[in-house]
Amino acid sequence: MEPIVYGNIKIFPVNLQVHHNLKSFNCYLVEKENSLYLIDAGIDSEDYWSLFVKTLKSNGFSLKDLTAILITHHHFDHVGLVNRITELELIPVYAHEKAIPRLKRDPEFLRKRVAFFEQLYREMGCGEAGEAQVKKLEHAIFNNKHLEIKADILPFKVNKFPFTVLEVPGHSPDQVAFYDSENKILFGGDLLIKHISSNALVEPDENGDRILSLLQHIESFQKCRSLSIDYVFSGHGKIIEQPIRLIEKRLENIDVKAEKILALIKQGVQTASEIAKAYYQKKYESQFSLVMSEIIGHLDYLEAKKQVKKKKIEGVWYYFV
Ligand SMILES: [Zn+2]
Protein backbone atom coordinates (compact mmCIF):
# COMPACT_ATOMS: atom_id res chain seq x y z
CA MET A 1 0.00 0.00 0.00
CA GLU A 2 1.27 3.45 -0.94
CA PRO A 3 1.98 5.83 1.95
CA ILE A 4 -0.38 8.73 2.51
CA VAL A 5 1.53 12.00 2.31
CA TYR A 6 0.35 15.37 3.63
CA GLY A 7 2.85 18.21 3.85
CA ASN A 8 5.79 16.88 5.86
CA ILE A 9 4.13 13.77 7.27
CA LYS A 10 4.04 10.30 5.73
CA ILE A 11 1.56 7.74 7.02
CA PHE A 12 1.77 4.01 6.36
CA PRO A 13 -1.49 2.46 7.60
CA VAL A 14 -1.49 -1.10 8.91
CA ASN A 15 -5.17 -2.01 8.52
CA LEU A 16 -6.26 -5.59 9.04
CA GLN A 17 -9.78 -6.07 7.70
CA VAL A 18 -12.17 -8.15 9.81
CA HIS A 19 -15.71 -9.41 9.27
CA HIS A 20 -17.37 -7.91 12.33
CA ASN A 21 -18.65 -4.50 13.26
CA LEU A 22 -15.21 -2.97 13.90
CA LYS A 23 -14.39 -3.54 10.18
CA SER A 24 -10.63 -3.25 10.73
CA PHE A 25 -7.89 -3.04 13.33
CA ASN A 26 -5.72 -0.08 12.46
CA CYS A 27 -2.34 1.14 13.55
CA TYR A 28 -0.10 3.60 11.78
CA LEU A 29 3.56 3.90 10.95
CA VAL A 30 4.20 7.61 10.81
CA GLU A 31 7.30 9.29 9.44
CA LYS A 32 7.89 12.88 10.43
CA GLU A 33 11.02 14.95 10.98
CA ASN A 34 13.35 12.01 10.32
CA SER A 35 11.67 9.88 12.96
CA LEU A 36 9.43 6.87 12.58
CA TYR A 37 6.63 6.33 15.09
CA LEU A 38 4.24 3.48 15.49
CA ILE A 39 0.91 4.88 16.65
CA ASP A 40 -0.91 1.98 18.36
CA ALA A 41 0.00 -1.66 17.79
CA GLY A 42 -3.13 -3.52 16.67
CA ILE A 43 -4.00 -7.00 17.85
CA ASP A 44 -1.69 -9.85 18.82
CA SER A 45 -2.07 -12.31 15.93
CA GLU A 46 0.11 -13.88 13.25
CA ASP A 47 -1.90 -12.11 10.54
CA TYR A 48 -1.44 -8.75 12.14
CA TRP A 49 2.26 -9.32 12.75
CA SER A 50 2.91 -10.31 9.11
CA LEU A 51 0.96 -7.32 7.83
CA PHE A 52 2.97 -5.02 10.11
CA VAL A 53 6.33 -6.52 9.07
CA LYS A 54 5.33 -6.39 5.40
CA THR A 55 4.36 -2.71 5.69
CA LEU A 56 7.70 -1.92 7.35
CA LYS A 57 9.80 -3.83 4.83
CA SER A 58 8.00 -2.81 1.66
CA ASN A 59 8.65 0.81 2.59
CA GLY A 60 12.33 0.23 3.25
CA PHE A 61 12.20 0.16 7.06
CA SER A 62 13.17 -2.34 9.71
CA LEU A 63 12.20 -2.57 13.40
CA LYS A 64 15.44 -0.76 14.31
CA ASP A 65 14.16 2.36 12.55
CA LEU A 66 11.31 2.81 15.03
CA THR A 67 11.83 5.88 17.24
CA ALA A 68 8.97 5.05 19.62
CA ILE A 69 5.66 3.29 19.99
CA LEU A 70 2.89 5.71 20.98
CA ILE A 71 -0.26 4.18 22.45
CA THR A 72 -3.65 5.95 22.27
CA HIS A 73 -5.24 3.78 24.99
CA HIS A 74 -4.71 0.50 26.79
CA HIS A 75 -7.34 -1.70 25.06
CA PHE A 76 -5.94 -5.03 23.82
CA ASP A 77 -6.68 -4.22 20.18
CA HIS A 78 -4.36 -1.19 20.33
CA VAL A 79 -1.34 -2.77 22.03
CA GLY A 80 -1.31 -6.25 20.50
CA LEU A 81 2.16 -6.20 18.93
CA VAL A 82 3.99 -4.27 21.66
CA ASN A 83 5.48 -7.38 23.30
CA ARG A 84 6.55 -8.95 19.99
CA ILE A 85 8.28 -5.73 18.88
CA THR A 86 9.98 -4.90 22.18
CA GLU A 87 11.23 -8.47 22.62
CA LEU A 88 13.14 -8.05 19.35
CA GLU A 89 14.21 -4.40 19.65
CA LEU A 90 14.40 -2.01 22.60
CA ILE A 91 11.90 0.53 21.31
CA PRO A 92 10.53 2.95 23.95
CA VAL A 93 6.79 2.65 24.57
CA TYR A 94 4.75 5.70 25.57
CA ALA A 95 1.22 5.80 26.96
CA HIS A 96 -0.84 7.93 29.34
CA GLU A 97 0.14 7.52 32.98
CA LYS A 98 -3.31 6.08 33.70
CA ALA A 99 -2.70 3.30 31.17
CA ILE A 100 0.24 1.92 33.15
CA PRO A 101 -1.53 -0.16 35.87
CA ARG A 102 -3.90 -1.47 33.18
CA LEU A 103 -1.17 -2.40 30.67
CA LYS A 104 0.97 -3.90 33.44
CA ARG A 105 -2.10 -5.76 34.71
CA ASP A 106 -1.22 -4.64 38.23
CA PRO A 107 -3.02 -7.22 40.44
CA GLU A 108 -3.84 -4.70 43.16
CA PHE A 109 -5.46 -2.36 40.66
CA LEU A 110 -7.32 -5.23 38.95
CA ARG A 111 -8.73 -6.42 42.28
CA LYS A 112 -9.85 -2.88 43.08
CA ARG A 113 -11.50 -2.77 39.64
CA VAL A 114 -13.42 -6.00 40.28
CA ALA A 115 -14.61 -4.68 43.67
CA PHE A 116 -15.69 -1.49 41.92
CA PHE A 117 -17.87 -3.37 39.42
CA GLU A 118 -19.28 -5.61 42.11
CA GLN A 119 -20.53 -2.59 44.06
CA LEU A 120 -21.62 -0.73 40.92
CA TYR A 121 -23.75 -3.55 39.52
CA ARG A 122 -25.28 -4.16 42.95
CA GLU A 123 -26.20 -0.49 43.32
CA MET A 124 -27.62 -0.44 39.78
CA GLY A 125 -29.88 -3.39 40.64
CA CYS A 126 -28.31 -5.81 38.14
CA GLY A 127 -28.81 -9.03 40.12
CA GLU A 128 -27.54 -12.26 38.55
CA ALA A 129 -26.34 -10.68 35.30
CA GLY A 130 -24.10 -8.39 37.35
CA GLU A 131 -22.80 -11.25 39.48
CA ALA A 132 -21.95 -13.27 36.36
CA GLN A 133 -20.01 -10.34 34.88
CA VAL A 134 -18.06 -9.90 38.14
CA LYS A 135 -17.11 -13.61 38.05
CA LYS A 136 -15.81 -13.15 34.50
CA LEU A 137 -13.70 -10.21 35.61
CA GLU A 138 -12.35 -12.19 38.56
CA HIS A 139 -11.28 -15.05 36.28
CA ALA A 140 -9.75 -12.59 33.81
CA ILE A 141 -7.23 -11.45 36.46
CA PHE A 142 -5.59 -14.89 36.17
CA ASN A 143 -6.59 -15.92 32.65
CA ASN A 144 -5.35 -12.75 30.98
CA LYS A 145 -1.98 -12.55 32.73
CA HIS A 146 -0.27 -13.18 29.39
CA LEU A 147 -1.67 -9.89 28.06
CA GLU A 148 0.65 -7.93 30.35
CA ILE A 149 2.92 -5.51 28.49
CA LYS A 150 6.45 -6.52 29.42
CA ALA A 151 8.36 -3.40 28.37
CA ASP A 152 8.60 -0.32 30.59
CA ILE A 153 5.89 2.16 29.76
CA LEU A 154 6.85 5.81 29.72
CA PRO A 155 4.24 8.48 30.45
CA PHE A 156 3.91 11.52 28.16
CA LYS A 157 5.44 13.85 30.74
CA VAL A 158 7.63 15.90 28.44
CA ASN A 159 6.42 15.93 24.90
CA LYS A 160 9.31 15.16 22.61
CA PHE A 161 7.20 14.23 19.63
CA PRO A 162 6.20 16.31 16.61
CA PHE A 163 2.53 16.02 17.69
CA THR A 164 0.46 17.53 20.45
CA VAL A 165 -0.61 14.85 22.91
CA LEU A 166 -4.26 15.60 23.73
CA GLU A 167 -6.08 13.93 26.58
CA VAL A 168 -9.38 12.65 25.15
CA PRO A 169 -10.78 10.34 27.86
CA GLY A 170 -14.26 8.81 27.79
CA HIS A 171 -13.95 5.68 25.67
CA SER A 172 -11.20 4.83 28.15
CA PRO A 173 -9.82 6.90 31.05
CA ASP A 174 -6.31 6.96 29.57
CA GLN A 175 -7.16 7.79 25.97
CA VAL A 176 -4.99 10.33 24.17
CA ALA A 177 -5.00 11.61 20.61
CA PHE A 178 -1.98 12.78 18.64
CA TYR A 179 -2.59 16.05 16.86
CA ASP A 180 -0.40 17.25 14.04
CA SER A 181 -1.46 20.90 13.82
CA GLU A 182 0.92 21.63 10.93
CA ASN A 183 -0.80 19.10 8.69
CA LYS A 184 -4.23 19.19 10.40
CA ILE A 185 -4.23 15.50 11.16
CA LEU A 186 -5.50 13.72 14.25
CA PHE A 187 -4.69 10.18 15.30
CA GLY A 188 -7.72 9.74 17.51
CA GLY A 189 -7.65 6.17 18.82
CA ASP A 190 -11.27 5.16 19.37
CA LEU A 191 -12.69 8.61 20.09
CA LEU A 192 -14.30 8.90 16.67
CA ILE A 193 -14.97 5.96 14.35
CA LYS A 194 -16.55 6.56 10.96
CA HIS A 195 -19.06 3.71 10.78
CA ILE A 196 -20.04 3.17 14.44
CA SER A 197 -20.31 5.31 17.53
CA SER A 198 -17.65 4.33 20.03
CA ASN A 199 -18.78 3.62 23.58
CA ALA A 200 -17.87 5.58 26.67
CA LEU A 201 -17.05 2.67 28.96
CA VAL A 202 -17.70 2.87 32.68
CA GLU A 203 -14.41 2.49 34.54
CA PRO A 204 -12.97 3.25 37.97
CA ASP A 205 -10.04 5.62 38.37
CA GLU A 206 -6.81 4.50 40.03
CA ASN A 207 -8.43 4.82 43.49
CA GLY A 208 -11.39 2.68 42.50
CA ASP A 209 -13.83 5.62 42.21
CA ARG A 210 -16.21 5.88 39.30
CA ILE A 211 -15.26 8.12 36.38
CA LEU A 212 -18.13 9.94 34.64
CA SER A 213 -17.08 8.43 31.30
CA LEU A 214 -19.81 9.77 29.04
CA LEU A 215 -19.35 13.32 30.33
CA GLN A 216 -15.63 12.97 29.60
CA HIS A 217 -16.41 11.55 26.15
CA ILE A 218 -18.57 14.61 25.37
CA GLU A 219 -15.82 16.98 26.56
CA SER A 220 -13.29 15.15 24.40
CA PHE A 221 -15.55 15.57 21.35
CA GLN A 222 -15.91 19.26 22.14
CA LYS A 223 -12.14 19.60 22.49
CA CYS A 224 -11.61 18.08 19.03
CA ARG A 225 -14.43 20.06 17.45
CA SER A 226 -12.54 23.26 18.33
CA LEU A 227 -9.40 22.15 16.47
CA SER A 228 -8.63 22.57 12.83
CA ILE A 229 -8.64 18.99 11.51
CA ASP A 230 -8.82 17.77 7.92
CA TYR A 231 -8.36 14.05 8.57
CA VAL A 232 -8.85 11.71 11.52
CA PHE A 233 -7.02 8.38 11.50
CA SER A 234 -9.02 6.05 13.74
CA GLY A 235 -8.39 2.77 15.49
CA HIS A 236 -11.05 1.07 13.36
CA GLY A 237 -12.61 1.65 9.97
CA LYS A 238 -11.83 4.29 7.38
CA ILE A 239 -10.12 7.68 7.46
CA ILE A 240 -12.54 10.46 8.41
CA GLU A 241 -12.38 13.59 6.27
CA GLN A 242 -13.55 16.90 7.75
CA PRO A 243 -14.73 15.32 11.03
CA ILE A 244 -16.79 18.22 12.46
CA ARG A 245 -20.11 16.98 11.05
CA LEU A 246 -19.52 13.46 12.39
CA ILE A 247 -18.58 14.81 15.83
CA GLU A 248 -21.80 16.81 15.88
CA LYS A 249 -23.79 13.76 14.84
CA ARG A 250 -22.26 11.73 17.68
CA LEU A 251 -23.15 14.50 20.16
CA GLU A 252 -26.71 14.68 18.80
CA ASN A 253 -27.10 10.91 19.18
CA ILE A 254 -26.22 11.19 22.87
CA ASP A 255 -29.07 13.67 23.31
CA VAL A 256 -31.50 11.43 21.43
CA LYS A 257 -30.62 8.44 23.59
CA ALA A 258 -30.84 10.52 26.78
CA GLU A 259 -34.34 11.67 25.76
CA LYS A 260 -35.49 8.07 25.27
CA ILE A 261 -34.11 7.09 28.67
CA LEU A 262 -35.80 10.09 30.26
CA ALA A 263 -39.10 8.97 28.72
CA LEU A 264 -38.66 5.51 30.31
CA ILE A 265 -37.99 7.07 33.71
CA LYS A 266 -41.14 9.18 33.35
CA GLN A 267 -43.03 5.94 32.69
CA GLY A 268 -41.77 4.63 36.02
CA VAL A 269 -38.80 2.47 34.94
CA GLN A 270 -36.42 3.55 37.66
CA THR A 271 -33.27 1.48 38.15
CA ALA A 272 -30.39 1.38 35.68
CA SER A 273 -30.83 -2.36 35.13
CA GLU A 274 -34.60 -2.06 34.48
CA ILE A 275 -33.93 0.80 32.07
CA ALA A 276 -31.22 -1.27 30.35
CA LYS A 277 -33.59 -4.24 29.94
CA ALA A 278 -36.37 -2.02 28.59
CA TYR A 279 -34.04 -0.18 26.22
CA TYR A 280 -31.82 -3.01 24.99
CA GLN A 281 -33.95 -6.12 25.65
CA LYS A 282 -31.94 -9.26 24.69
CA LYS A 283 -28.70 -7.30 24.50
CA TYR A 284 -28.96 -6.79 28.28
CA GLU A 285 -27.76 -10.39 28.70
CA SER A 286 -25.57 -10.78 25.61
CA GLN A 287 -23.71 -7.45 25.84
CA PHE A 288 -24.18 -6.76 29.52
CA SER A 289 -21.17 -4.56 30.31
CA LEU A 290 -21.51 -2.42 27.16
CA VAL A 291 -25.23 -1.95 27.72
CA MET A 292 -24.74 -0.96 31.37
CA SER A 293 -22.01 1.52 30.39
CA GLU A 294 -24.39 3.17 27.93
CA ILE A 295 -27.28 3.41 30.38
CA ILE A 296 -25.20 4.55 33.36
CA GLY A 297 -23.39 7.10 31.16
CA HIS A 298 -26.65 8.60 29.88
CA LEU A 299 -28.10 8.65 33.42
CA ASP A 300 -25.02 10.62 34.52
CA TYR A 301 -25.63 12.98 31.61
CA LEU A 302 -29.30 13.48 32.57
CA GLU A 303 -28.23 14.06 36.18
CA ALA A 304 -25.60 16.61 35.12
CA LYS A 305 -28.29 18.44 33.12
CA LYS A 306 -30.49 18.30 36.25
CA GLN A 307 -33.19 16.42 34.36
CA VAL A 308 -33.19 13.47 36.77
CA LYS A 309 -32.37 12.87 40.42
CA LYS A 310 -31.49 9.67 42.17
CA LYS A 311 -32.20 8.19 45.58
CA LYS A 312 -30.71 5.08 47.18
CA ILE A 313 -33.30 2.66 48.53
CA GLU A 314 -32.05 -0.50 50.24
CA GLY A 315 -28.68 -0.18 48.51
CA VAL A 316 -30.04 0.39 44.98
CA TRP A 317 -30.19 3.68 43.06
CA TYR A 318 -33.62 4.77 41.82
CA TYR A 319 -33.86 7.52 39.21
CA PHE A 320 -36.79 9.90 39.06
CA VAL A 321 -37.73 13.30 37.61
ZN1 LIG B 1 -10.78 0.93 22.59
The CATH number that applies at residue 91 is: 3.60.15.10
159 shares its domain with 70: yes
Instruction: Assess whether pLDDT exceeds 90 at residue 37.
Output: yes
Using the mean position of ligand 1's atoms as its centre, give its distance from the Cα of residue 42 in Å.
11
Give the chain's domain count.
Answer: 2
Using the mean position of ligand 1's atoms as its centre, give its distance from the Cα of residue 77 in Å.
7
Per-residue confidence band for 154, with pLDDT thresholds at 50, 70 and 90: very high
User: Are 198 and 191 spatial neighbours (Cβ–Cβ below 8 Å)?
Assistant: yes
177 shares its domain with 44: yes
304 shares its domain with 166: no
Query: What average pLDDT does the chain have?
Result: 96
Using the mean position of ligand 1's atoms as its centre, give its distance from the Cα of residue 266 in Å.
33
Pick the last residue of a domain from 209, 242, 275.
242
39: domain range?
4-104+149-242
299 shares its domain with 184: no
Per-residue confidence band for 20, with pLDDT thresholds at 50, 70 and 90: confident
Using the mean position of ligand 1's atoms as its centre, give its distance from the Cα of residue 273 in Å.
24
Pick the last residue of a domain from 207, 242, 277.
242
232 shares its domain with 114: no
179 shares its domain with 50: yes
Using the mean position of ligand 1's atoms as its centre, give its distance from the Cα of residue 76 in Å.
8
Rounded distance, CA 313 to CA 264, Å?
Answer: 19
User: Are 49 and 32 spatial neighbours (Cβ–Cβ below 8 Å)?
Assistant: no
233 shares its domain with 167: yes
39 shares its domain with 53: yes
Residues 298-313 have a mean pLDDT of: 98
Strand order in the sheet with 185-189: 164-167, 176-180, 185-189, 231-234, 240-241
Residues 264-292 have a mean pLDDT of: 97
86 shares its domain with 191: yes
Rounded distance, CA 83 to CA 34, Å?
Answer: 25
Rounded distance, CA 288 to CA 265, Å?
Answer: 20
182 shares its domain with 257: no
* pLDDT digits 0-9 by tens, 133-145: 999 999 999 999 9
Using the mean position of ligand 1's atoms as its centre, give its distance from the Cα of residue 191 in Å.
8
CA-based angle 201:44:211, to the nearest 5? 15
53 shares its domain with 181: yes
Pick the last residue of a domain from 183, 207, 242.
242
pLDDT of amino acid 298? 98
100 shares its domain with 111: no
Residue 157: partners with Cβ closer than 8 Å, 6 or more residues away: none
Using the mean position of ligand 1's atoms as its centre, give its distance from the Cα of residue 172 in Å.
7
Instruction: Assess whether pLDDT exceeds 70 at residue 1.
Output: no
User: Are 61 and 95 spatial neighbours (Cβ–Cβ below 8 Å)?
Assistant: no
Backbone angles phi, psi at 217, to 5 degrees: -55, -45
